[in-house]
Amino acid sequence: MWRELWTLAARAARGSCRLCTRQSSGAPAFGSGATIFALSSGQGRCGIAVIRTSGPASRHALRSLTAPRDLPQARSASLRLLSDPHTGEPLDRALVLWFPGPQSFTGEDCVEFHVHGGPAVVSGVLQALGSVPGLRPAEAGEFTRRAFAHGKLSLTEVEGLADLIHAETEAQRRQALRQLDGELGQLCHSWAETLTKALAHVEAYIDFGEDDNLEEGVLEQADSQVQGLVVALDAHLRDARRGQRLRSGAHVVVTGPPNAGKSSLVNLLSQKPVSIVSPEPGTTRDVLEIPVDLAGFPALLSDTAGLREGVGPVEQEGVRRARERLEQADLILAVLDASDLASPSSCSFLDTVVALLGAQSQRLLLVLNKSDLLPSAGLGPGPDLPPHLLLSCLTREGLDGLLEALKKELAVVCGDPSTGPPLLTRARHRHHLQGCLDALGHYKQTRDLALAAEALRIARRHLTHLTGGGGTEEVLDIIFRDFCVGK
């Protein structure tokens, strides 16, 4: 239905182009080009829906729908009767907000209509806007794109905004807000400034190297600036993709011998019956993945087949897949049956998998499940155990402790968005930082000053591209594709 509304509005907008009358308001408008409009709040029946416009005809659109009233005071809400500009038919009693540019989200003249969220009201207002000359429906991400074009947001801030809209966990929200605040962009700007200084020194030496007036040691200064930058960039790139994990989820893999309660744990953590649980060993055979919010961090939780040898070909394939998945894990949840620690399958799991993964320093939490089956004295004498947590999937005892431990581990794996330097959340960020670092490598190697200067320019260009300066259209298209219509 929403698509139909949209087509109607688009048609109304196209119709108005044929009639094309000039803007009647004599006041100078801020911004240029077409004026766009869209439903900016979520789709579907709701209490209040927000429709907004951006562009020079916003003022005219507001006047047309609220005639004969004056423009409301800038940036404060006013109650107005909206009616169709052609038929005069009342559409809704709504709050309207008038944001004259450049003090608006896009930097252009903008209007927000906060209307009642019924489909008929929304479609009526969209159609009315479509019939105002100079207005057309917005494309996906077009409001944000205009904000970027008018210097209201840098590219990393745009990405932060997209992430904020899509954020599903607390940690993602914090990270997105920091990026929206421009922290990563500011860091890149300060790095680019360092490079500009170094470049100025090298160029001065090229131009006036023979000149006695040139202060001593200009080249050495440039070298030490570059060296400092290399160290900083290196540290950022070595953050081991934490920011990307925070954006797209850490891989958390549940493993253990058959029947330890792996699937029970996956169901408990995801709060959904995603995996089949049964008393029969070998129930899970394929890798089962589910995105979850683990203690505020985004994770992709994988349930896997119980590890054992000498079973049928199907289960063996499951075991092979489980091992493969373990290699890609950011964090492993190793599960054992606490009441069955002396069994051959538990011992073999502890001796091989847990010991091996520990030696490879992969992050691992050992969970002893079914604690409800233990005698009241707790774990009896048994094998020497590495640090572990006791849990009962059945009674949920120990769940809080496990979530607390998961939170600590995931803060290491994903980076803690409340502290520390801004994280690189996208492959694009890494690409440009690596490009910058490579160019600085060339700078250090070459003995030719002209080539050294060029290397500094290339390095600086990578940093500028990262924040969207001189960005190519394709990059912009990819980034703005993440947005929905109305944003």
Query: Of residues 253-312, which lie at the interface with Mg ion (CB under 5 A)?
Result: 262-263, 283-284
Token pair 């094998």: residue: 383
Distance between CA atoms of residues 3 and 170, nearest Å: 32
| Interacting partner of 394 out of ligand GTP, K ion, Mg ion, none (Cβ under 5 to 8 A depending on kind) | ligand GTP
Minimum CB distance to K ion smaller for 144 or for 259: 259
Q: Residues in the site for ligand GTP, rule: CB under 6 A?
A: 256, 258-264, 277-279, 281-284, 306, 369-370, 372-373, 392-394
| Interacting partner of 77 out of Mg ion, K ion, ligand GTP, none (Cβ under 5 to 8 A depending on kind) | none
Query: Of residues 258-277, which lie at the interface with K ion (CB under 5 A)?
Result: 259
Burial class of residue 77, CB neighbours in 10 A (0-12, 13-18, 19+): middle
Minimum CB distance to ligand GTP smaller for 397 or for 404: 397
Walk across the sheet containing 331-337 and list its strands. 288-294, 297-303, 250-255, 331-337, 364-369, 389-390
| Interacting partner of 372 out of ligand GTP, K ion, Mg ion, none (Cβ under 5 to 8 A depending on kind) | ligand GTP
Minimum CB distance to ligand GTP smaller for 219 or for 341: 341
Least distance CB 50 / K ion (angstroms): 50
Minimum CB distance to Mg ion smaller for 34 or for 287: 287
For 223-249, b where at least 16 C-beta lie within 10 A, e where not — what string? bebbeebbebbeebbebebbbbbbbbb
| Interacting partner of 370 out of ligand GTP, Mg ion, K ion, none (Cβ under 5 to 8 A depending on kind) | ligand GTP
Minimum CB distance to Mg ion smaller for 287 or for 379: 287
- The residue with its CB nearest to ligand GTP is 306
Distance between CA atoms of residues 56 and 75, nearest Å: 17
Per CB under 5 A, the segment of 106-114, 266-274, 280-288, 310-318 that binds K ion is: 280-288
State the virtual CA torsion across 232, 237, 240, 246 in degrees, nearest 10.
100
Count CB-CB contacts under 10 A for residue 1. Answer: 9
Alpha-carbon Rg for the chain, nearest whole angstrom, is 30
Least distance CB 229 / Mg ion (angstroms): 50
* Contact between 283 and K ion per CB under 5 A: yes
Minimum CB distance to ligand GTP smaller for 12 or for 260: 260
Beta bridge partners of 337: 369
Distance between CA atoms of residues 88 and 65, nearest Å: 9
The contact set with K ion (CB under 5 A) reads 259, 278, 283
